[in-house]
Amino acid sequence: MKIHFHYFSAFFLFILDVGLAFLSVYVFLEPSVQTELLNSLSSFQNDLYISIKVWVVASLFHKIYHNFASQGLDGLYRKTWRVFITQQILFIMNVVVNSAVLNQQELLQNALFTFTFLSVGILLSRILVTLFWLYREKKSNVKNTVAIWGFNQTGIELATRFELNQGERKFVGILDENSGYAYTPKKELKASLFEAIHYSAKNKIHELFICIAPTELSDVKSLFKLADEKCLRIRFVPDIAGNFPDNAVLQNIFHYPAISQRNEPLEDQNNRFIKRVFDVFFSLLVLVFIMSWLYPLIGLLIKIQSPGPIIFKQLRSGENNEPFLCYKFRSMRINSDSDLKQMTKGDSRVTKIGQFIRKTSIDEIPQFLNVLKGEMSVVGPRPHMLNHTKQYNELTENFMVRHFVKPGITGLAQIRGLRGEITDMKYMQERINVDIEYLENWDIISDMKICFLTFYSIVKGDEKAY
């Protein structure tokens, strides 16, 4: 939703600005000239649209509507001023050279009118956008929270940048700001970093930037491992050629180098927007053309064979390990073990219609409602029951990394045959590795391919679907 808000804001502001540029010229024309322009479309396009054309040119040049989320209000104000000045210069030059609406005797007077109208209109529009953004940020709970560990010059400068550019990130502060002393022994430093990671996870911080000198670092892999277990992203600033994993990636945050555990294409807001558009479009197709007639049919068969609700709702682990209610067609009789015991082959709890809908994966179709709600994606790691999340996290490595993205109805692991009952932790570890492979190499084409192969697998039949 955060991404959609920024795209909508950029589009709305563009329409508002173009409208103001148009009105800044039109409202100051004589009524007779207005009538003549409206009756003569060609003249209206060639002359009055000059103001709109030069605004569009200036806005494209200064990229005022580009990277709307990351530039923040401060960047928006700076670019607005530049676009406004550029637009006025280009507008006056165009009118002087090709004046059909404004003759040269009226130029000075009308230029003053348009300048005043447009400057007041732009100022009011920015005040409106500011109030709307502040209200939205106050009510929004989806912004990523960011903290810094390292009360030094680099940490302070980076904190200042975060405070001035709180686009998608909400900066909460420097964790060791009040520590008052330097950590000299590496053992003490490591313990403090472990404590910072635990604290960040407990307080629902999504990203922790660790700013320390290269000579102070040791056993970085254990820090990455703990952060993965806590579903926390950590970044090291500055660039350190130390003991990092082979798949670590270098990023630039406000020109500061930061090393991350892995590449994540879905951290980019444009990629997330593309994935969300695909999710919504695909889900609507399924719900309108399949769920609309399938629900009453399957619901009737479920009711005939077993009393209870048609839709089974269960708490599962979602993005950032946040629990959500996952929907499925109920395939089992009502039982007290549904939130504790996983499905096994030949499970006596499964009804006859349940066997069919599980075999054909029809039981997963209501999860497209979860996709529309933004709790799931069409493609992603499969969500687990809450107690299984805790259990697998203790028995496997990197399990919580799967929760850096939204869970999916299908996924790369499923089309590779890694689905069904977990009887061996080696099998579970293999599934985790494939899920992380998907997270590190995502693109929209791979999502489409996974959807196609999932459909092919359903038609062909999968021996692990039961």
User: Each residue of 97-151: pLDDT tens digit?
Assistant: 655 544 555 556 666 777 788 888 888 888 888 887 777 766 655 568 899 998 8
Q: Is 184 part of any domain?
A: yes
Q: Is 465 part of any domain?
A: no
Check if the beta carbon of residue 243 is closer than 8 Å to that of residue 219. Answer: yes
> Residue 147: beta bridge partners?
173, 208
DSSP letter (8 states) at residue 214: G
Query: What are the two backbone dihedrals, phi and then psi, of residue 292, each rounded to the nearest 5 degrees?
Result: -60, -40
The owner of tokens 């006025």 is 88
Q: Is 201 part of any domain?
A: yes
Q: Is 466 part of any domain?
A: no
Confidence of residue 341 (pLDDT cuts 50, 70, 90): confident
* Burial of 389 from C-beta contacts in 10 A (0-12 / 13-18 / 19+): buried
Q: Are 236 and 330 found together in one domain?
A: no
Q: Are 122 and 168 found together in one domain?
A: no
Query: What's the CATH number where 244 sits?
Result: 3.40.50
Total domains in the chain come to 3
Check if the beta carbon of residue 65 is closer than 8 Å to that of residue 15. Answer: no
Q: Residue 43: pLDDT above 50?
A: no
Q: Are 396 and 312 found together in one domain?
A: yes
Q: Is 31 part of any domain?
A: yes
> How far, in Å, CA of 205 to CA of 232, rounded?
7
Query: Range of 315's domain?
Result: 269-460
**Percent above pLDDT 70 for the chain:** 81
E-state strands within 33-184 = 144-149, 169-174
Two tokens, residue 20: 């103001």
DSSP letter (8 states) at residue 420: S
Report residue 235 CA to chain centroid gap: 19
* pLDDT tens-digit map of 292-302: 999 999 999 99
Q: Are 329 and 403 found together in one domain?
A: yes
For the ranges 65-69, 227-231, 244-248, the lowest mean pLDDT is seen at 65-69
Q: Is 392 part of any domain?
A: yes
Confidence of residue 248 (pLDDT cuts 50, 70, 90): confident
Q: Are 134 and 148 found together in one domain?
A: no
Q: Are 226 and 188 found together in one domain?
A: yes
